[in-house]
Amino acid sequence: MTRPTVCVFDYGFGNVRSATRALEHVGADVRLTRDRDFAETAAGLVVPGVGAFAAVMQGLREARGDQIVGRRLSGGRPVLGICVGMQVMFERGVEHGEETVGLDQWPGTVEHLQTSVVPNMGWAKVEAPAGTTLFDGIADERFYFVHSYGARTFPLGTTEDTGRFAAPLVTWSTAGTGDDADRFVAAVENGPLAATQFHPEKSGEAGLRLLRNWVETL
């Protein structure tokens, strides 16, 4: 069987080596590069991201990653965002009072989590929706999070028909507990665009299974 080609976009932000090794482990033919032609034509594109929303967006634009993501999605070619690589898919991010325009694939704002337990760091369960592909067979597992910001709402909605593709499937998780808890978007599956707030490459066997589930769709 031919191994699907996957580009891990190397624009200076993200756990690129860990992501590359994990994707190779689950059966992808992976290339770590910022080469535009390969990034646009590979079977799958992974956009990792760590650090500040504004810095990640600057790095993406300098590497023309915003154009690459847009062109892939307009052609229905799969993209997977990880951590801040998911956050930048939203309309905007607000950090320390600074607002930064994101890739605007989804409406909504990435903002500071409203809980005293930040950063939200460690293993946590998620609330995956019916019909999920990413979490097939692992909906009850735990995944590794490390972040202080997140999308606390998903304004696009999850029930209406959005036209070309089926309605988004949104997975949620919670930072903190009790009255100090804050619910946030943990993953989204939306046509060719999928993303996770947690790090699947750091989430053990469950994370590898999620990556395998994604690779098998390519």
* Cα–Cα distance, 34 to 11 (Å, whole number): 6
- Separation between Cα atoms, residue 49 and residue 84, nearest integer Å: 4
Instruction: Point out the catalytic residue in the list 91, 112, 201, 205.
Output: 201
Active site annotation includes 141: no
Q: Looking at residues 21-33, what average pLDDT do you find?
A: 97
pLDDT for residue 15: 78
Q: What is the pLDDT of residue 162?
A: 47
**For the chain, percent of residues with pLDDT exceeding 70:** 95
- Provide the residue type at 69 as one letter: V
Is the per-residue pLDDT at 192 higher than 70? yes
Comparing CA positions, the residue from 159, 145, 148 lying closest to residue 187 is 145
DSSP, collapsed to helix, strand or coil, labels residue 150 as strand
Across residues 138-150, what is the average pLDDT? 97
Share of the chain above pLDDT 90, in %: 90
Residue pair 129/123 in contact by the 8 Å Cβ criterion: no
pLDDT at 26 over 90: yes
Active site residue 199: yes
Cβ-in-10-Å burial (0-12, 13-18, 19+) of 179 comes to: exposed
Distance of alpha carbon 214 from alpha carbon 130, whole angstroms: 16
- Active-site residue identified among 7, 111, 141, 199: 199
Does residue 24 have an active-site annotation?
no
Q: Per-residue pLDDT for 175 more than 50? A: yes
Q: What's the confidence (pLDDT) of residue 14?
A: 78
For residues 40 and 71, is the Cβ–Cβ distance under 8 A? yes
Tell me the domains of the chain and their CATH numbers.
Answer: 5-215 (3.40.50.880)
Specify which residues 103 forms β-bridges with. none
Report pLDDT for 164: 52
pLDDT given for residue 45 in this prediction: 98
| pTM for this model (two decimals) | 0.94
| Segment 122-151 mean pLDDT | 97
Q: Which two tokens stand for residue 42?
A: 């590979």
List the catalytic residue out of 7, 24, 83, 189.
83
Lowest mean pLDDT among 13-17, 32-36, 163-167, 199-203: 163-167
Confidence of residue 157 (pLDDT cuts 50, 70, 90): low
Report, as an integer, the average pLDDT of 50-57: 95
Q: What rounded mean pLDDT belongs to the chain?
A: 94
Q: How far is CA 180 from CA 138, 143, 176, in A?
A: 27, 21, 6
